[in-house]
Amino acid sequence: MSTPVNLFSPLELGNHTLPNRIVMAPMTRLRAVNGIPTPLMADYYAQRASAGLIVTECTMVSPMSQGYINCPGIYTQEQVAAWRQVTDAVHAQGGRIFLQLWHSGRVSHPALLQGELPVAPSALPATGTLHTPVGKVTLDSPRALETDEIPVIVEQFVQGTKNAKRAGFDGVELHGAFGYLIDQFLQDGSNQRTDQYGGSIENRSRFLLEVVAAVCQAWQDNQGVGIKLSPSNTFYGMQDSNPKALFSYVLAQLNPFPLAYIHLMEPNEKDLAQRAVINPVLPTFRSAYQGVMITNGGYTKSKGNQVLESGQAELVSFGQLFIANPDLPDRLARDASLNAPDFATVYGKGDQNLAQGYTDYSRLGSEP
């Protein structure tokens, strides 16, 4: 009789053997300096290297992709060298780490972009506010991309992938979720184009599929590319008239690519409160994709084991729990108590001690 799969079962993922199925989800922490990762960031990720897989925070593929103050990039040699310090630190602790490649699209502001307008599929503003060098601002209308500009952005993802490999990452994750550029192309609430990148589901999916194809070719090694999708998110005013048809099509089209995984997000409380969304996401879309699936959405140890044993997902990612528990896999294995995150220090800002609420959480046995 076979042993049931659980969070502590190993998994072969491309060229890597994951010692457990606990993924550290990508989380924006805003501790970079002028787009450059710091030694403190290397400490932060190395502390969490016992995860089966770490996925980094969203990382800019170009200066025009910036959406937040103090987020890191992967488009200069200095950034590559700084990320190498991070990957070396994680690998020295026996971990595996993917870089999340990101373009914010319309979720930005000229104050973050040297005075330039943000770019997007269509000149439709996102909803919400951002913190910028000139203070908190309301999101304005972006500039619609010209058709001949789109291949340039695809190439930026390609260069980011090549740079990630040079920086020592084990793979990359494309940020196709949460209302950023790839997601903006997918959903008809943000994409009203009339060229080959707009209109039908097939056309709105074109940008994503072009990025996936180009990035898979750039990575070359087997299964070094993942993608994050959020069919039910409402972040920054995202919506689609038929999300089930859209994301069923996208997932089916992703099957032929040599992907490491798809990272599928469940709706959060705000999503559920704002409008009727697909809930739960995983059972709705699992049959559309035959590869490895990571599920995310408020999982506990018990719920994580249940979803793995059901076969609906192969990996479970944890976000908030990893903020406050650098040794989360050990704590879950022992059913130990969990530290609570300090939400006031989640994002780095101002003259804050950047280690506070970042690298100063206790490990088992180190509590005072």
**Model confidence pLDDT, tens digit, residues 301-343:** 999 999 999 999 999 999 999 999 999 999 999 999 999 999 9
Give the three-state DSSP class for 316.
Answer: strand
- pLDDT value at position 185? 98
Q: Nearest 5 degrees, angle CA 86-CA 87-CA 88?
A: 90
Tokens describing residue 87: 């990957």
Distance between alpha carbon 272 and the CA centroid of its chain, in Å?
A: 21
- DSSP classification of residue 189: T
- pLDDT value at position 272? 86
- pLDDT value at position 69? 95
* Enclosing H/E stretch for 129: strand 129-132
In this structure, the chain runs to a length of: 368
- pLDDT value at position 367? 62
- pLDDT value at position 276? 67
Q: Give the Cα separation of 204 and 276 in Å (integer).
A: 22
Question: What digits encode the pLDDT tens for the residues 136-156?
Answer: 999 989 999 999 999 999 999
Q: Which residue has the tokens 């951002």?
A: 130
Contacts of 299 (CB under 8 A, 6+ apart): 307, 316, 317, 318
- pLDDT value at position 174? 98
Q: Residue 350: pLDDT above 80?
A: no
Sign of the Cα torsion 91, 97, 98, 102 reads negative
Instruction: Given the residues 68, 75, 180, 358, select the one marked as catalytic.
Output: 180
Residue 106 near residue 124 (C-beta atoms within 8 A): yes
Per the annotation, the verdict on 45 as an active-site residue is no
As a whole number, the mean pLDDT across the chain is 96
- Of 89-103, 174-188, 268-282, the range with the lowest mean pLDDT is 268-282
Q: Give the Cα separation of 171 and 128 in Å (integer).
A: 32
Q: Which residue has the higher pLDDT, 273 or 38?
A: 38
Q: Residue 271: pLDDT above 90?
A: no
* Closest listed residue to residue 111, CA positions, set 94, 133, 86, 144: 133
| Percentage of the chain lying above the pLDDT 70 cut | 98
Residue 203 has φ and ψ, to the nearest 5°, of -70, -40
pLDDT band at 277 (very low <50, low <70, confident <90, very high): confident
Mean pLDDT value of segment 57-85: 98
pLDDT band at 1 (very low <50, low <70, confident <90, very high): low
Other CB atoms within 10 Å distance of the CB of residue 326: 25
- DSSP classification of residue 288: G
pTM, 2 dp: 0.97
Mean pLDDT value of segment 22-38: 97
pLDDT band at 222 (very low <50, low <70, confident <90, very high): confident
